[in-house]
Structure 1
Amino acid sequence: MKSAASIRIFQHLAIFVLWFLFALTVSRLTLVAIFWDRVAPTDGLGIILLQGVRFDLILVAALFGPVFLFKCWLQPIAFLRRLGNWILPLYTGLIVAAAFFVEASTASFIGQFDSRPNYLFVEYLKYPKEVLATVSGTKLPELVVFSSAAVLIAWFVTRWLRRDPYSDLRVSVKFSLLLTPVIILLMVAMIRSTLAHRPVNPSNAAFSQDSMVNQLPLNSPYSVLYAVYERRKEASNERIRYGKMADDEVLKIVLREAGITPAQQLDPADAPTLHFQQATARHDRPLNLVIVLEESLGAEFVGSLGGKDLTPNLDSLADQGIWFERLYATGIRSARGIEAIITGFTPSPRTNVVKRSDTQDNFFTLAALLSKSGYHTSFIYGGESHFDNMRRFFLNNGFQKVIDQGDYDNPVFRGSWGVSDEDLFQMAHEELSGKGDRPFFSLIFTTSHHEPFDIPANRVTPSEYGPRETSIKYADYALGEFLRRARTSGYWKNTVFLVIADHNAKIFGGKLVPVERFRIPAAIIGPSVTPRRITGITSQIDIVPTLLSLIGLDSNHPAIGRDLTRPEFRDGSGRALMQFHANQAYIEGNRVVVLQPDLEPRAFELGPDSQMTLLPGGDREIERKALAYALWGPLMIRTNAY
């Protein structure tokens, strides 16, 4: 009887935990209702709800298990009881408030990233100014409401738990000692949620071909915590997320697919992909190179690619240079696009190379290669260059000069993310005009097409579609003005220009990887560039070797992209890689292989309308290529071979 009475010390907390579980279920049902058009085709409502209970119990054990444990330990001694009755409710109130904020933000996060909150949610906390700028429009009221509600929840939960009628109930030390292993065992059992060798993880919730729907059984606090946990395991887990393959086999496949022959290899033992590339173009001297990186410009906004008619200046380049009709971005973030376009590196579910601690020095970039060849190299940006660690990465890896928001005097317009694109391009034009005869490479990164889409007034007619599309029209206007000035400049005749998007604006769809949403525009122009259209599949990782050929520079580099100036690749490289949160897709011809953490690869047939039909028997050859490409990047990082 005494033990039964002692158990009452947990009664108040247990009631609260039940309410917490109920709230998570209500949130999940709300998300199911909001995204019912995605859930219904999967016929998975029952799975979502049942697996949802499982992952909610995991979260409860992780968050509140320690509270039960400390309550058990503190209750036998009066002083510790009083201390616990003050600290434990406060801790619980704070973590519940944080959990509420993350869960309440889920619908908006899905709307932006087609995923429950994950590590991106944590990463954005590093840049509060940029976050506030992004949400200062339509999402600001939502942020204020959720933040205010979180504060109220923290106050209410703390106050309610401190009014526990059994908080002063004394229990024996013996009772606490006997109950401790029981609580620990329950915590471990609930967190593992299985008797199998490995504990449950998000892969257990995957049941459909829709990546977002597969995440509905999770809860967002768990999703964020698991993402943080995965990042902490980054170094040791990089090799085995998608499967296993011997390093020699990885290199054999990648070298073969990249067309790197033993005769081209310069250091097979320590830098296996470092090779000599002979440029296909010949000039009196290597040409200048300018890359204009357009923020969040997907094919859906480009009329020449079948999208909305918003970019007449970009569209006009289709007949003036090399125009890409099926170019795919490697990811959904700017840093991922920079990773591919500037370094030629492949994507992975891990931190991109721009932000990794082990790639901040002596990592291959176009700038590093060109600076060694006598080029002046610069990064010209309208925002704050420390965002996404760009400034550090660039200056440490070959860029000699960085221009950012603080370098503009009296800009025409200063928005939330920096100066306007016309200010950016004016600065770029002045910078390039002053280079004289010295060859140069400049990366120009735009910002105007970024939420909250604040742009100068009276430049373009507002789009009927909304602010995003209006900002795209403005970005295109600014690009057109820059190219018009460039054509009459002294540097035009000796320069190759690449205009390319970093990624699409919003990546979503009812697939494990919505490959059609990764399609982006790009054009290479200049007096030396012969106009043509590349109609086949191409990846951002093919940009580095292609540009090196076009500027006429023979070079040694480790990039594994395909040189699209070579006859065998004139219609495209024929393959592309895409990272969509934890999933990676490899597309070749009409086949798509999707790699998911801790699951077998899944092969699909890609239809003309981008529909993906599962191939029951798979496609072993392409699956091995996909795995080799996925493992090559971590192998290069681990062995310092890039």
Structure 2
Amino acid sequence: MTTYPTASTTHNRSLLALLKPYAYAIGLGLFMLSAFRLGYIAWQWDRVAASQGLGFLLLQGLRFDVLILSALLIIPLSLSPLINQCKALYSFWPGLLKFYLCAALLWLLFMELATPNFLLQFDARPNILFVEYLKYPKEVLAMLWGGFKTCFIITAIAMPLAAITLWRVLPAAPIVSLTWPKALALSLVLFCLLVLAVRSSVGHRPANPSVVAFSTDLMVNDIALNSSYSLLYAIYESARDEKGSLAYGDMAVDKMLAIVKAEMRVPASDFIVGDIPTLHNQAALNTQAKPKNIVIILEESLGAEFVGSLGGKHLTPQLDALAEQGLWFENLYATGTRSVRGIEAVITGFTPTSARSVVKLSQSQRGFFSFAEVLRRKGYDTSFIYGGEAHFDNMKRFFMNNGFSKIIEQKDYSDPQFVGSWGVSDEDLFSKADKLFQSYGDKPFFSLVFSSSNHTPFDFPDNRIALYDKEKATENNAVKYADYSLGQFFKQAKQSRYWDNTLFLVVADHNSRVRGANLVPIEYFHIPGLIMGGGVQPSVYSKVSSQIDLFPTLLSMAGIDAEFPAIGRDITDPKYAGDSGRAMMQYNKTQAYREGDQVVVFERNKPAVQYSYKKGKYTKSAVQNKTLIDKALAHALFGPYSYQQGNYRLPD
């Protein structure tokens, strides 16, 4: 006897058919994201095992995978029942939906394929840096092809194959007949369920990366996410950062400013009354008849781990020798992990924040304080000398609008000896700088010279150095070449007419790659710093210091009295003799404030925690020092406050 389906079973089958393409997409997406996560866990097993959180990683990983898939499907899935009722859409909806589902899954795949190299470079899943690099396709494509060719080729092959496979596997969306009331009800139910899945929480706050912050190893925490989510959340958070909404705590403005100004150790009489709270006069301790020229040589990615004089690999014999000829910083720390953060600290003295560097933020593109503007107002010629294209990272715009009168970039080199992915070689760079300095005669000048040879894919001329590694294009060899070029420059400079009346600062912008299992891996923020030139006596500064201290120190040593709002310290001033020194470091969205061997760490949406930091190891302090934590919080809040208020500037 034949059995015919009832209206009820036909309706249920229709609903299942309606959901079938989405079920396939969700299943494929979960499988793909889980497979990549398991691969990352296996790859980083030592660090995952040390965190003792494998089960947590897998469970939270599934949670965030469901979250991102729900976010991608919320619009088409919620509207599907209603679209099925619209005859005008019958003809192209199945194809359009299939195309969208393929594109969404390919996006997830692309982000995971891009993750290994990003993780190698930044010890994190893709974040806002991923987007910022995409703004410079020429440099990035050259870097990828030169340094990550295998990954580039794998991705180029995998993506088309995956597209073909997905198009064949994913079922087409059927046209299902529903009554309008049922279609509307089903759309509302699906929408509410998907919103709940995207929130992934019934609490006051939706799920965010802080819910997976179970370990002090930030990279391990990131494994619990997926790369599409980590990137999209970083973009969302970056938009909030510029508005100053992401902070590490609350403190009254008056109290915050009082603490910051007290730590500057500036006499009350030296502060200039007005609407710029930290504007003050700094009198030079090294008085002389004619103030000196100042040249800052910003060395790309030169961490202490490569510098023999700082206990690293013996890759910098030239810098090690120069260290004995000037003021050498033994415990100097970068404020961040990118060049624009180093520029921010060295050129503006601005404290690090959870937002992007002020080199890129909109409100700092005109009238923002820079030391170049201080010197320009004193009659100095101010220049930025770079071997690549100065538009990268918005440097040219920021510099031209904030005190620099001359920009020299790749197009200005008429016959360079060598051109790599990031521009001309360091030898060409320094040769150009020397010629410019020679041309000034008696006119005072300030220049920022930014090297680029020590950058992936590590292009540099042949036959200059004895290779440290057998393969030429490696980080160690690039460091040796950068050091060789630096030594060649100083041989020239010492023979020049400008030598006796010029102070040189050699400092790294940041380390090559900051990584590690600590909340803020301080050892990878350790960088070299050296002030030398005519009349500078050899000495060593062993206390903790920050990049923001360098220019106030340079001004004092150069015999330049100045007024400015920067809160860095002139480390040659005896009033700081009793201090242990301090440094601020930004690591993704985590910040550290260090005084001596005490470190206060701020994580987003978590209370501050004080640690003892000795020999590269953190130990949570038994007693949390509220005074130190308040001091750290005040400095963390100062940057966002002064940026938003527009009072980190010189008077008109």
TM-score > 0.5 by shorter chain: yes
Residues 262-312 of structure 1: per-residue CA shift (max 9 Å, x gap): 2111134x1000111111111111110001000000000000000010111
Structure 1 position 188 matched with structure 2 position 204: no
Q: Distance in 2 between matches of 1:342 and 1:138?
A: 30
Partner of 1:422: 427
- CA offset at residue 616 of structure 1? 4.9
Alpha-carbon distance in structure 2 between the residues aligned to 1:572 and 1:284: 31
Amino acid of the structure 2 residue aligned with 1:501 = A
In structure 2, give the amino acid aligned to 1:591: Q
Gaps of 5+ in 1: none
Q: For 2:604 and 2:241, how far apart are their aligned partners in 1?
A: 13
Aligned counterparts of 1:24 and 1:571: Cα–Cα separation in 2: 54
1:23 to 29, 32, 42: 32
1:263 maps to 269
**C-alpha separation in 1, matches of 2:492 and 2:598:** 43
Q: Secondary structure at the match of 2:42?
A: helix
Question: What residue number does 2:292 align with?
Answer: 287
1:266-277 to structure 2, matched below 5 A, reads: 266-268=272-274, 270-277=275-282
1:613 aligns with 2:619: yes
Deviation of residue 82 (structure 1)?
2.8
The CA distance in 1 between the partners of 2:397 and 2:39, in whole Å, is 42
Alpha-carbon distance between aligned partners in 1 of 2:342 and 2:222, rounded to the nearest angstrom: 25
Deviations 1:489-510 (A, max 9, x none): 0000100000000000010001
1:533 alignment partner AA: V
- Which residue identity does 1:486 align to in structure 2? A
2:398 corresponds to which residue? 393
Residue number in structure 2 paired with 1:412: 417
Which residue, out of 3, 9, 12, partners 1:4? Answer: 12
Given residue 32 of structure 1, which amino acid in structure 2 is its aligned partner? Answer: I
TM-score (norm 1): 0.97
1:319-468 equivalence runs, <5 A: 319-464=324-469, 467-468=474-475
Answer whether contact 1:58 1:191 (CA < 8 A) is retained: yes
CA shift for structure 1 position 620: 2.0
| Cα distance in 1 between the residues matched to 2:428 and 2:448 | 15
The equivalent of 1:563 in structure 2 is: 570
Q: Is the 2:74–2:195 Cα contact (8 Å) retained in structure 1?
A: no
* Amino acid paired to 1:221: S
Unaligned runs of 5+ in 2: 1-7
Partner of 2:550: 543
> 3-state SS of the aligned residue for 1:273?
coil
Q: Equivalent of 1:102, from 96, 111, 119?
A: 111
**By how many angstroms is 1:15 displaced?**
2.4
Three-state SS of the structure 2 residue aligned to 1:599 is coil
Post-superposition Cα deviations, 1:516-570, rounded to whole Å, max 9, x if no partner, equal: 1000001000122121101111000111211110111110100001111101335
Alpha-carbon deviations, 1:398-451, whole Å to 9, x = none? 000000000001110011100000000000000000001110001100011011
SS in 2 for 1:363: coil
Cα distance in 1 for partners of 2:291, 2:416 equals 34
Tell me, yes or no, if structure 1 residue 217 matches structure 2 residue 215.
Answer: no
State whether residues 328 and 520 of structure 1, in contact with CA within 8 Å, keep that contact through their aligned partners in structure 2: yes
SS at match of 1:267: coil
Q: CA deviation at 1:146?
A: 1.3
Give the letter for the 1:479 counterpart: L
Shift of the alpha carbon at 1:81? 3.0
Match of 1:585 among 592, 616, 623: 592
Change (3 A) 1:389 1:279: same
Farther off after superposition, 572-581 or 307-316: 572-581
The size of the alignment, in residue pairs, is 637
Give the letter for the 1:428 counterpart.
A
Partner of 1:517: 524
Q: Which amino acid aligns with 2:206?
A: P
Q: Secondary structure at the match of 1:254?
A: helix
The residue aligned with 1:481 is 488
Distance 2:570 2:257 in 1: 19
What's the offset of the Cα at 1:619?
2.9
Distance apart, 1:627 and its partner CA: 1.2
CA root-mean-square deviation: 1.5
Structure 1 residue 260: deviation in Å? 2.8
Which residue of 122, 142, 147 corresponds with 2:131?
Answer: 122
Cα separation, partners in 2 of 1:275 and 1:497, compared to 1, 3 Å: same
Q: CA deviation at 1:145?
A: 1.4
CA distance in 2, matches of 1:93, 1:349: 35
In structure 1, how many angstroms separate the alpha carbons of the residues matched to 2:268 and 2:521?
A: 37
In 1, Cα distance between equivalents of 2:149 and 2:79: 39
Give secondary structure in 1 for the equivalent of 2:604.
coil
Contact 1:537–1:572 (CA<8 Å) still a contact in 2? no
Q: Is the 8 A contact 1:292 1:500 kept in 2?
A: yes
1:528 aligns with 2:544: no
Cα distance, 1:230–1:176 mapped onto 2, change above 3 Å: same
Write out per-residue CA displacement over residues 138-193 of structure 1, whole angstroms, 9 at most, x where no aligned residue.
411211211332233234334433x43x6133333222201121111112211111
1:628 to 629, 634, 648: 634
Match of 2:223, SS state, is: coil
2:248 aligned residue (226, 242, 257): 242
CA separation in 2, counterparts of 1:293 and 1:541? 14
Report the more deviating stretch, 241-250 or 417-426: 241-250
Q: Give the secondary-structure state (helix, strand or coil) at the position aligned to 1:568.
A: helix
Secondary structure of the equivalent of 2:41?
Answer: helix
CA distance in 2, matches of 1:201, 1:10: 28
- The code of the aligned residue for 1:198 comes to R
| Residues 571/471 of structure 1: CA separation in 2 closer, same or farther (3 Å cut) | farther
Residue 637 of structure 1 corresponds to 643
1:197 aligns with 2:234: no
Return the offset for 1:41: 1.0
1:580-634 Cα shifts (integer Å, max 9, x gaps)? 1111111111111111111111221111x21011225433222211111111001
Residue pair 2:519, 2:601 contacting (<8 A) in 1 also: yes
Q: Give, in whole Å, the separation in 2 of the partners of 1:134 and 1:498.
A: 29
Where does 1:289-328 land on structure 2 (aligned, <5 Å)? Answer: 289-328=294-333
Please state how far the C-alpha of 1:378 moved relative to its aligned partner: 0.3
Identify which range, 108-117 or 338-347, moves more after superposition: 108-117
Report the equivalent of 2:213.
206
TM-superposition CA deviations, 1:75-129 (whole Å, max 9, x none): 1234313322121221221222121111122222111101111111111111111
Q: Who is 1:504 aligned against?
A: 511
* Residue 88 (structure 2) pairs with residue 111 (structure 1): no
Contact 2:454-2:475 within 8 A present in 1 as well: yes
Q: Which residue of 2 aligns with 1:144?
A: 153
Post-superposition offset of 1:234: 2.6
TM-fit CA distance, 1:573: 6.3
Q: Which residue of 2 aligns with 1:85?
A: 94
Residue pair 1:89, 1:157 contacting (<8 A) in 2 also: no
In structure 1, give the amino acid aligned to 2:642: M
> 1 CA distance for matches of 2:623 and 2:27?
45
Moved more, 576-585 or 252-261: 252-261
**SS of structure 1 residue aligned to 2:594:** strand
Question: Helix, strand or coil: the match of 1:324?
Answer: strand
2:3 alignment counterpart? none
Q: Indicate which of 222, 234, 239 corresponds to 1:232.
A: 239
Question: Helix, strand or coil for the counterpart of 2:295?
Answer: strand
Secondary structure of 1:105's match? helix
Cα distance in 1, alignment partners of residues 450 and 484 from structure 2: 15
1:211 CA drift (Å): 1.1
Q: Percent identity?
A: 46
